Structure 1
Amino acid sequence: MPGGTNVKQRLWRWRSNPLRRRDDIVEAWIVLAVWMVFAVGGSVAGLVTAHAADEVFAAQRAERQRVPAVLLNDVPLSFPAIGGTSDRRTTTVRWTASDGSTRTGRTQVDTGLEAGSTVTVWQDGHGRLTSAPLSATEAAIESGLLGVGAAAGLAGLVFGAGAVVRWQLDRHRIDEWSREWDQVGPRWGHRTS
């Protein structure tokens, strides 16, 4: 508007206004509820998820243990595939479990080793081969990322639900305006006298 000032009215839905409709008040409460659920629910979901993940990673660090294993096959030196970065191959190893039994299984080892070489593998509390547990730092980073992911997932659901409800309110407002225009519009006919 040239020469005029464009003033943005904050919280206009909350102010008394003869043009304010019931749908405007409902929409104001919905927006407030969405932001509150996002702020409180997102924080709670993120913290609970991060804490649960951290407990799982701590339990893995406590349960898993390194054990020496013997290679049963040669693992020849090989070149990674084009674009690949792995210089590890899956092969069969033998190790002694915590209960004293001898076990055999397949795991990833570095290439270039001969049968009979000793490698270090990780086993779980039941003596099965498993991957190495995350370090405390890696677990903290992973827990934080999972917490942020949970908060973001909740935010998507909450904002999506809020958008659907606001869309329905807009449709209702448009229908009301159409009905009112149908009543008032004919009175504004062309009268030239």
Structure 2
Amino acid sequence: MTMRTRVRGWRWRRSPLRRRCDVLEAWALLAVVVLLAVGAPLAGVAVGRRVYDDARARAATQRAERHLVTAMVVEDAPPAVPSPTGRQPSYPVRVRWSAPGGDSRTGLAQVPAGARRGEHTRIWLDSGGRRVGPPVNASAVWQHTLLAGLFTAGAAVAVVIGVHFAGRRASARRRLAEWERDWERTGPGGGATRPDVRGPFRAWAVERGADGPVAAPPGRGRARNQAWRPSGGPRTV
């Protein structure tokens, strides 16, 4: 039975089996960890703070420009219906109000179910007397801030992970090319009988390449162990 032991942290140790690409992968992994643990949260906080300041300023402007007035309902709303919670829905119906210049205007406004013609309701107007929605409240400001921060942090995580995996794939292709060159130098007959990496050996190498240097592939002698160097940690056989 063959026993294999993975040596952890081998990329940070001096070893004749360690190559330059192994060192670069170690530093790249460290950079990914730092970006995920520190960079992404900081990006989310920075964007959230900016969005919070903008939302607060916009809410203050709306509160200064908008005001409540009394409007009269000019058509009946749909009748109220029994509800287990006792709450009734609201419906858009036509109402009439007076503009700042004294002109009478009409428009749609949400009124409770069962409202009758001639009743009064409260609506928001801007400085020009036009029908608008209520100003943004503190709850909406915080909700917008949290969504922006979370989206930014999530996007940063997705970009970092995507770049990391793309780099690993490029490194794996480069490592396969290095194995071919090594086999040409160390294989029997100076490379005349090197294995076809386009066939089953390629799948064998890729499958084990993520875990580090291993013994020679099945059917090869121990004397050529150093010719086969997938990218993970050294193993003993």
TM normalised by structure 2 equals 0.61
1:140 deviates by 2.2
Q: What is the match of residue 159 of structure 1?
A: 161
Report the 3-state secondary structure (helix = DSSP H, G, I; strand = E; otherwise coil) of the residue aligned with 1:148. Answer: helix
Of 42, 45, 62 in structure 1, the residue corresponding to residue 43 of structure 2 is: 45
Q: Given residue 145 of structure 1, which amino acid in structure 2 is its aligned partner?
A: L
Deviations 1:160-193 (A, max 9, x none): 1121112211121122223323443435979xxx
* CA 9–114 in structure 1, closer or farther in 2 if over 3 Å, else same: same
* CA 91–8 in structure 1, closer or farther in 2 if over 3 Å, else same: farther
* CA 113–56 in structure 1, closer or farther in 2 if over 3 Å, else same: farther
1:19 aligns with 2:6: no
Q: What is the match of residue 28 of structure 1?
A: 26
* CA 119–55 in structure 1, closer or farther in 2 if over 3 Å, else same: farther
Paired residues, number: 184
Q: What is the match of residue 95 of structure 1?
A: 97
Structure 2, unaligned stretches of length 5 or more?
82-86, 194-218, 220-237
1:181 aligns with 2:179: no
Whole-angstrom distance in 2 between the partners of 1:75 and 1:114 = 6
1:106 deviates by 2.7
Q: Map of 1:14-163 to 2, 5 A cutoff?
A: 14-62=12-60, 63-64=62-63, 65-77=67-79, 87-96=89-98, 102-124=104-126, 127-163=129-165
Q: What is the match of residue 8 of structure 2?
A: 9
Whole-angstrom distance in 2 between the partners of 1:145 and 1:109 = 31
Report the 3-state secondary structure (helix = DSSP H, G, I; strand = E; otherwise coil) of the residue aligned with 1:51. Answer: helix
Please tell me whether the aligned partners of residues 70 and 93 of structure 1 are also in contact (alpha carbons under 8 angstroms). yes
Q: Given residue 24 of structure 2, which amino acid in structure 1 is its aligned partner?
A: V
Q: What is the match of residue 82 of structure 1?
A: none
Deviations 1:68-110 (A, max 9, x none): 333232211266xxxxx98222233333456766543334332
TM normalised by structure 1 equals 0.72
* CA 115–174 in structure 1, closer or farther in 2 if over 3 Å, else same: farther
Deviations 1:3-62 (A, max 9, x none): x7956523x322212111111112122222233333443233212322233234323432
Whole-angstrom distance in 2 between the partners of 1:8 and 1:69 = 78
Q: Given residue 75 of structure 1, which amino acid in structure 2 is its aligned partner?
A: A
Whole-angstrom distance in 2 between the partners of 1:142 and 1:29 = 37
Whole-angstrom distance in 1 between the partners of 2:168 and 2:29 = 9
Report the 3-state secondary structure (helix = DSSP H, G, I; strand = E; otherwise coil) of the residue aligned with 1:113. Answer: coil
Structure 1, unaligned stretches of length 5 or more?
80-84
Please tell me whether the aligned partners of residues 57 and 133 of structure 1 are also in contact (alpha carbons under 8 angstroms). no
The Cα RMSD (Å) is 3.5
